[in-house]
A and B are shown apart, each in its own frame.
Chain A
Amino acid sequence: MKQLDYADEKISTREFILGITSIILGIGVLSLPRNLAQLTNSSDGWISILIGGTFCAAIAWVMAKTASKFPKQTFYEYTSSVLTKPVSILISFTYIAYFICIAAISTRVISGISKVYMLERTPIEVISLFFLLVVIYAVSGSRIALFRLNLMFIPIIIFIVVVIQVFNIKLFDMTNIRPMFITNWSNILSGGKESIFAFLGFEIVLFYTILMKKPKSAAKAAVVGVTIPMVVYIVIYLFAIGVFSNIVTQNIVYPTIEMAKEVEIPGQFFERFESIFFTIWIMTIFNTTAMALDVSVYGLTSIFPKLHKKKLVFALAPIIYLISMMPQDFTAITSFSQSTSYVGVGLFSIPFLIIIVSKIKGVKGK
């Protein structure tokens, strides 16, 4: 494989923003409307998304601020300068394992969905394998190229989301949206927790800020990168409730997919619009998986600079494949991704730890 050479191994602010958006948008939104509808009444779940999204944006801001304090250092380097080497290795490995799990879950869920809706008789193992092979191909290339791929895919993804909502306007029923503001606060907050899970992945700012041309704009960019999926989520959620009503949304496994299936393009020329949606959503999940794998590889190469990147990719891929094949059924996948999400939320404390310890120790970045 010949690699394209780019002039500089740096990413622009826009690429950074869309990189965050790409890793966030993925499998979470497919079932998010159901999870929220189960917790909230009527259409109130959008408040939960707003709360969860704002919280995540704040965390992303803190993470980017922390990372941009050390603009020339990798995550491993600056954590070990602040928190000592063994602690830093521990944290890095937790993050790497966490991103590997995200990649594995994404692979598993998209393979499962492809099997149910499109490739009925193809074994899930085969679908996952081929999906992962493409991911490996993407990650073993240039890291900058991966960011530019996000840049190319995001407009298409936003476009398909808009198209689905537009074609569903006919089915949108305002009576499903009202009454508003009737859910009690504790349920809104647990809905907020649920939506945080759909935002996970933005922690890549800790690792990628070093690649930025202007690391100073990282914090702002991180907030924007989280806000874009937040808007997408709120739109999808409100449309799901408007089209299906709260109680039906509670009972549809993947409301977002079902909305794509509801699309009827007038003229009876096009049927089965959802096949286009699947194609594009596989791209979205491809982005998520590729970014997650790339972060893990990046984390490992910064700890072991002598290891070759491609070898690492080929070493990690089978691990991802095996993890993704472990859960046996729908509930096992759900509980596995739940526990991964809890680890992710727990890791939110890392940037605060770094800030506090560096204040006490008086460590300064360059």
Chain B
Amino acid sequence: MNKWISYPLICIFLLILAGCWDRVEIEERGFVIAVGLDKAENGEGFELTQQIVVPGKFGPDSASGGSGDAYLNITRQGETMFEIIREVAAETSRSPFYEHFKLVIISSELAEEENNLPHILDHFIRYHEMRRATKVMIAKGSAKEILEVEPKNERLPAIYIDSISVNNFKNSRMVPVSRIGDLHEQLLNENSYTIQKVEKGEETVKVVGNAVIEGKTNSLIGFLEAEGTEGMNFLTGEIQGGIIKTKYKGQDIVYDMKTTNHKVKTIIDNQNNVTIEVKIQSEGSIGEALLPLNFEDPKVIESIEQQIEQEIKDKVMNTFEKVQEEFKVDIFGFGNYLEQQHYQKWQEIKKDWEQGENYFSQSTLKPKVNIRIRRSENILKSYK
């Protein structure tokens, strides 16, 4: 090619190819990491609080020269999520950017109303900036207040809540995280399900207990508090660790679960009576014993094991009966096991599982617990 043509051409290409149509500088982005949803004051629509990170406020105070919060909470009201979010874009210097979005907190007041949950979640599942790993929590009380908590060891309230919500391997009462993707599945299946509950303490927030959501109306029908949650975790196999306290000869002994295993078998007879056998196996150690015991004696170990097994059975039965009586919905997902194990039969009784006849609340639970104490940790006895 003629160099009189080619050189200018190269220069032009250099100019246009170096650009980017969609460039948004990082300083111009408002990274939204969490939203809180409350009922709007006038009673119609939603009140959305967006927590936006202010990156300049990160790092040592002297370096960035700024003191104050590393985040910004912006609250607006409206009918749909998208509308409110875009409205905020017109008001702030940083347009909301959701690629690093972590958490949706919905107030219990909103969740109680029929179909509010799917209405709220639709945008957060649908929009392309969102990801299915976003967590959802139900706040007992106001969601906005939860996002205003001032954590001692974190700069951002949302990150603080996000990280305590995943500590369930240390605490058997902690509910497994509710990913928005999993909720999408529950909504489509019209299953009943639970969502992590978050509650404001005096200075901290607590993520304990479950919010029970009824699948047909998608509304909050109550809370399963910490004790119930533990039993539920045993039934769903979501338990990842934690401790069981039991009495032995009138004194407390604490068992530390290291591994747990869980199997569900469902039996259904011709009268549509459902029996659910849940096998729970766990191995662990003694983390604390308030009485001197001879841990070298297999008989002692065995009787402690039986004691713990009974303890777990009681917890499981209590939760199951409570849910059967109080909520009458299958939050344990036993329906899925029925579908897998008795597909034809399930098609017949599916409609009457939670509604109508409500076979769920008539079903019987048979827990089988098997505990193995492997160690007594570092010592045998701490005193004579």
Contacts and interface: CB of A to CB of B under 8 A. Distances in A.
> Do A and B assemble together?
yes
Interface of A: 116-122, 126, 175, 178-179, 182, 244-245, 247-248, 250-251, 258, 261-262, 264, 271-272
A182 B343 contact: yes
A245 to B, nearest CB: 5
A193 to B, nearest CB: 25
A126 B341 CA distance: 53
Contact of B128 (A116, A244, A271): A116
B128 A178 contact: no
Contacts of A182: 343
A170 to B, nearest CB: 11
21 contacts: A116-B128, A119-B21, A119-B22, A121-B21, A122-B22, A175-B336, A175-B340, A179-B340, A179-B341, A179-B343, A182-B343, A244-B185, A245-B185, A245-B189, A247-B185, A247-B189, A248-B184, A248-B185, A248-B188, A262-B133, A264-B133
* Cβ-closest 8 pairs across A and B: A122-B21, A178-B340, A247-B188, A179-B343, A248-B185, A119-B22, A179-B340, A245-B185
Interface in B121-150: 128, 131-133
B131 A262 contact: yes
Interface in B9-39: 21-22
B100 A271 contact: yes
A88 B234 CA distance: 70
Contacts of A126: 21
Interface in B320-353: 336-337, 339-341, 343
B348 to A, nearest CB: 14
Task: Tell which of A178, A247, A248, A261 has the most Cβ of chain B within 10 Å.
Answer: A248
A269 to B, nearest CB: 13
Contacts of A244: 181, 185
B79 interface: no
B22 A248 contact: no
Contacts of A258: 132
A175 B189 CA distance: 14
A230 B119 CA distance: 39
A359 to B, nearest CB: 49
A262 B22 contact: no
B83 interface: no
B22 A120 contact: yes
A250 B336 CA distance: 18
Contacts of A178: 340
